[in-house]
């Protein structure tokens, strides 16, 4: 079974685009006209919104990341919209990261791995490391069996992340560095043909100093970099996660792309509630790709 990380890196190189579009819909990010058309069926509106965004970006970005919480909020119908979003993105040739951040003891983790890393599921899922090795193993087994990958939380992009992740350890280093070491170790049997493991790490763009350290200490680990744009991370911050060949991470933006239609420059051009949200998303994705290309040398070769 091919390595998920190889598929991702190949597509990043083809498109010269280390960008992930976060599909995190909420009613305040969708145009009112779309919501009105679906009346009480909010998940139906989410699915149409996602499909239009996917159609607008699938040729320029390698991967999308639906955050399952925004779908779980709408119960069964919401979860159906999540599953259909995953399928639709895959049918368009996109890779998919299911942002589920699950984590539990062995037998329970196996159930989550069954639920989210089956053949029809996303190519990658995000998971939480707080329960340690035996909570991660069932996910690793599913990756080996089904050619899938993981992004394990190491440094998150939110202010409270520091409450645990930045704690100094008695043996030296901080908690996030220790977790980084565990992630490298957990991934050593899943290193693909391009030198990176399918067991990857989440490393926020809002923490460039930590990211730089981790890039040095985890040479075989690929990073998912949230926090660009709306959360304050810049292309220069994200660039420290990349190696000289332009490979090493994928930068996520959610609201910044999918809700671009709300930005003054677009609202002025298209009118406040135009059906142009997918065009706006595409324009913003292109801007972001160019911004990153400007800071990550190897992508231009």
Q: Which residues are catalytic?
A: 101
Out of 17, 50, 85, 156, the only residue in the binding site for its own copies (CB under 8 A) is: 156
Number of residues that bind its own copies (CB under 8 A): 57
Q: Which stretch binds its own copies (CB under 8 A): 1-9, 172-180, 260-268, 293-301?
A: 172-180
CA 298 from chain centre, in angstroms, equals: 21
Strand-pairing partners, residue 203, are 155
State the DSSP H helix or E strand holding residue 139, giving kind and residue range, or none if neither. helix 133-146
Nearer Cβ to its own copies (60/175): 175
Contact flags string 84-123 toward its own copies, x per CB under 8 A: -----------------xxxxxxxxx-xx-xxx-------
Q: Taking CB under 8 A as the rule, does residue 169 contact its own copies? A: yes
Q: Taking CB under 8 A as the rule, does residue 21 contact its own copies? A: no
Residues 59, 115, 124: CA angle, nearest 5 degrees: 35
Q: Taking CB under 8 A as the rule, does residue 52 contact its own copies? A: no
Tell me how far, at minimum, the Cβ of 275 lies from its own copies, in Å. 25
User: What string of DSSP letters covers 232-248?
Assistant: SB-HHHHHTTS-TTS-S
Out of 27, 33, 158, 217, the only residue in the binding site for its own copies (CB under 8 A) is: 158
Assess contact for 138 and 106: CB atoms under 8 A: yes
Tell me how far, at minimum, the Cβ of 60 lies from its own copies, in Å. 25
Nearer Cβ to its own copies (133/145): 133
Tell me how far, at minimum, the Cβ of 47 lies from its own copies, in Å. 14
CA distances from 17 to 3, 155, 181 (A): 20, 23, 28
Closest to 121 measured CA to CA, from 100, 104, 138 = 100
Query: Burial letters for 233-261: b for 16+ Cβ neighbours within 10 Å, e otherwise?
Result: bebebbbbbbeeebbbbbbbbbbbbbbbb
Q: Residue numbers of the site for its own copies (CB under 8 A)? A: 24, 26, 67, 69-70, 72-76, 78-80, 83, 101-109, 111-112, 114-116, 128-136, 153, 156-165, 167-171, 175, 178-179, 182
């Amino acid at each position: 079974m091919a390595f998920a990380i190889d598929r991702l890196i190949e597509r990043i190189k083809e498109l010269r685009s280390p960008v992930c579009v976060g599909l995190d819909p909420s009613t305040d990010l969708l145009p009112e006209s779309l919501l009105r058309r679906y009346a009480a069926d909010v998940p139906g509106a989410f699915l149409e919104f996602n499909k239009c965004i996917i159609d607008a970006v699938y040729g320029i970005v390698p991967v999308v990341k639906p955050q399952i919480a925004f779908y779980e909020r709408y119960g069964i119908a919401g979860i159906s919209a999540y599953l259909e979003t995953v399928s639709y993105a895959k049918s368009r040739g996109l890779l998919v990261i299911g942002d589920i951040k699950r984590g539990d003891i062995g037998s329970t983790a196996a159930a989550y791995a069954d639920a989210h890393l089956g053949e029809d599921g996303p190519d990658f899922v995000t998971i939480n490391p707080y329960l340690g090795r035996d909570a991660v193993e069932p996910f690793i087994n599913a990756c080996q069996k089904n050619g899938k990958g993981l992004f394990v939380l190491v440094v998150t992009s939110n202010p409270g992340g520091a409450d645990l992740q930045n704690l100094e350890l008695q043996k030296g280093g901080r908690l996030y560095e220790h977790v980084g070491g565990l992630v490298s170790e957990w991934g050593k049997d899943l290193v693909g043909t391009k030198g990176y493991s399918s067991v990857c790490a989440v490393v926020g763009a809002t923490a460039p100093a930590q990211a730089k350290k981790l890039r040095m200490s985890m040479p075989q680990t690929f990073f998912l970099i949230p926090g660009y744009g709306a959360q304050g991370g810049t292309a220069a911050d994200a660039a420290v996660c990349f190696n000289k060949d332009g490979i090493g991470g994928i930068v996520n933006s959610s609201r910044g792309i999918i809700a671009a239609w709300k930005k003054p420059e677009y609202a002025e051009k298209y009118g406040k509630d135009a059906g142009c949200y997918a065009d706006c998303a595409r324009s913003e994705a292109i801007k972001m790709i160019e911004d990153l290309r400007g800071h990550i040398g190897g992508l231009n070769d």
